[in-house]
């Protein structure tokens, strides 16, 4: 017998997998990568954590289909910011259910706890997720709160011993921490804050993007994670790296929608601007880019854009820069 687990890296999903592996059932942990889970690659951390509870690990890249099918048209709307939690959970379950046959697995497990999250972990929300995911065979099992929910097929068929599952509810983590101590689990992701779509600052960037561009691609979404984002007066977008790591990531993620501002011999932040930027916005962007370099504000410097050179000075009124920041 084998199960597929939706795995976030957090304690609840680790404990859910442990409850199943200790019943002699093989588990493969799936991290469904929608593109908004983290600013850094945590796949090796997750692989290590999954191994602690006897599970295999795979990261499943669904970023493109998530953008096309879920993010901008959720059936059940958004949470406080740009988080379509019910539709998102259903999409993840649907992805995992579609993998059952090829993986030789029989059912799905998740670390969800009834009542822990206000939007997606209420009983009515779980019912909506079930319908959207087309779980007609009752194959989604939630080991951490199973005793508070109707029996699923894995329990009815005797694949899983329901008596050895949990009946946790609410936001307290006392029972989870007791279980972690009993199982010797110390390495796990902190609860909450894992999804960028729940952050107001990130939601502002998505809303701004959609106002000016109806086609968000995977790299567009990834670019939103890094740097300072500015919207210039005539509509051009500007992105400025905050540090060496972000500078390198912006170079890697650059798409045809953006061109870099070349600093030549100057030392400073890497900057991108819209490829179709108008002259007025470009003049401003060059001044702003120069502001984020080591320079003498009294001097003019040459910067490059699309094989051309421009001479400019740094933006004089730094306080006014705040007018252009998206978040």
In this predicted structure, what is the pLDDT of residue 123? 85
Q: Is residue 72 scored above 90 in pLDDT?
A: yes
Q: Considering the entire predicted model, what is its pTM?
A: 0.90
CATH topology of domain 2-183: Rossmann fold (3.40.50)
Q: pLDDT (tens digit, 9 = 90+) per residue, 6-63?
A: 998 899 999 999 999 999 999 999 999 999 987 777 899 999 999 999 999 999 999 9
56-72 mean pLDDT: 97
d(CA 261, CA 252): 15
d(CA 221, CA 253): 10
Q: Is residue 106 scored above 60 in pLDDT?
A: yes
Strand locations in 269-307 (E): 271-274, 301-305
d(CA 2, CA 314): 61
Q: pLDDT (tens digit, 9 = 90+) per residue, 153-175?
A: 999 999 999 999 999 999 899 99
In this predicted structure, what is the pLDDT of residue 191? 66
Specify which residues 4 forms β-bridges with. Answer: 28, 108
Structure tokens at 56: 């295999």
**Which CA distances in Å does 54 have to 24, 42, 49, 275, 310?**
10, 19, 9, 49, 59
Residue 230 falls in which region: left (phi positive, over 0), alpha (psi -120 to 50) or beta: beta
Q: pLDDT (tens digit, 9 = 90+) per residue, 197-229?
A: 999 999 999 999 999 999 999 999 999 999 999
The 8-class DSSP code of residue 191 comes to: S
Q: pLDDT (tens digit, 9 = 90+) per residue, 118-155?
A: 666 788 899 999 999 999 999 999 999 999 999 999 99
Domain ranges of the chain: 2-183, 199-324
**Which CA distances in Å does 172 have to 150, 163, 191?**
22, 22, 11
Of 103, 107, 177, the C-alpha closest to 135 is 107
d(CA 56, CA 2): 11
Q: pLDDT (tens digit, 9 = 90+) per residue, 291-322?
A: 999 999 899 999 999 999 999 999 988 788 88
Of 317, 321, 267, 261, the C-alpha closest to 295 is 267
Residues 6+ apart with CB under 8 A from 101: none
CB 283 within 8 A of CB 308: no
Of 232, 231, 261, 230, the C-alpha closest to 247 is 261
Specify which residues 58 forms β-bridges with. Answer: 30
- Residue bearing tokens 């109806």: 214
d(CA 2, CA 260): 49
d(CA 149, CA 144): 10
d(CA 257, CA 250): 13
In this predicted structure, what is the pLDDT of residue 61? 97
């Amino acid at each position: 017998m084998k199960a597929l687990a939706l795995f976030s890296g957090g304690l609840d999903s680790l404990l859910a997998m442990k409850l199943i592996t200790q019943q002699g059932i093989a588990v493969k942990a799936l991290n469904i990568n929608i593109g908004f889970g983290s600013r850094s690659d945590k796949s090796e951390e997750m692989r290590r954590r999954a191994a602690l509870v006897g599970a295999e690990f795979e990261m499943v890249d669904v970023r493109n289909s998530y953008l096309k099918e879920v993010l901008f048209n959720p059936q059940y709307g958004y949470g406080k910011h740009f988080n379509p939690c019910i539709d998102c959970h259903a999409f993840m379950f649907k992805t995992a259910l579609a993998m059952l046959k090829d993986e030789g697995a029989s059912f799905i497990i998740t670390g969800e706890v009834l009542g822990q999250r206000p939007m997606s972990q209420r009983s009515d929300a779980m019912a909506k997720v079930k319908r959207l995911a087309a779980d007609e065979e009752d194959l989604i099992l939630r080991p951490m709160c199973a005793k508070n929910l109707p029996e699923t097929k894995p329990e009815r068929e005797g694949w899983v011993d329901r008596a050895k599952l949990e009946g946790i509810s609410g936001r307290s983590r006392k029972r989870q921490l007791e279980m972690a101590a009993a199982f010797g689990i110390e390495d796990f992701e902190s609860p909450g804050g894992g999804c960028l779509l729940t952050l107001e600052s990130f939601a502002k960037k998505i809303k701004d993007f959609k106002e000016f561009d109806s086609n968000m691609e995977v790299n567009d979404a990834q670019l939103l994670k890094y740097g300072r984002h500015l919207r210039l007066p005539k509509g051009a977008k500007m992105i400025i790296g905050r540090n060496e790591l972000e500078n390198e990531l912006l170079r890697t993620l650059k798409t045809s929608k953006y061109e870099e501002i070349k600093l030549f011999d100057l030392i400073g932040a890497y900057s991108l601007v819209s490829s179709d930027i108008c002259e007025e916005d470009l003049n401003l962007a060059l001044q702003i880019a120069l502001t984020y370099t080591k320079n003498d504000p009294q001097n003019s410097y040459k910067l490059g854009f699309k094989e051309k050179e421009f001479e400019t000075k740094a933006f004089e009124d730094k306080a006014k820069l705040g007018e252009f920041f998206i978040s």
